[in-house]
Amino acid sequence: MVGSLVCREAVAIPRRRLAEGLSIEQIQTLSDDLPPITMQDICDAAASTKPTVTRETIQRHENWKKKFGSEI
């Protein structure tokens, strides 16, 4: 589901920003508190996240449904 992928990416963006330029040891000592997620993080995540299902796959599913009258 694209929505959940976008959300996961949006959560990761501020964490990456926080860890940028730090050593592995410094990153390991960071707090588990999540940095705030901004609207820009969500927009960036939406722009960089690709759908997991192609239009072709959706069309094949629709054709199956029309032909057999049920969903897989």
pLDDT, one tens digit per residue, over 9-48 is 999 999 899 899 999 999 888 877 778 899 999 999 999 9
- The pLDDT confidence band at residue 71, using thresholds 50, 70 and 90, is low
Residues 6+ apart with CB under 8 A from 44: 10, 13
This prediction's pTM: 0.60
> Which residue type occupies 50?
K
pLDDT at 22: 93
Give the Cα separation of 44 and 67 in Å (integer). 40
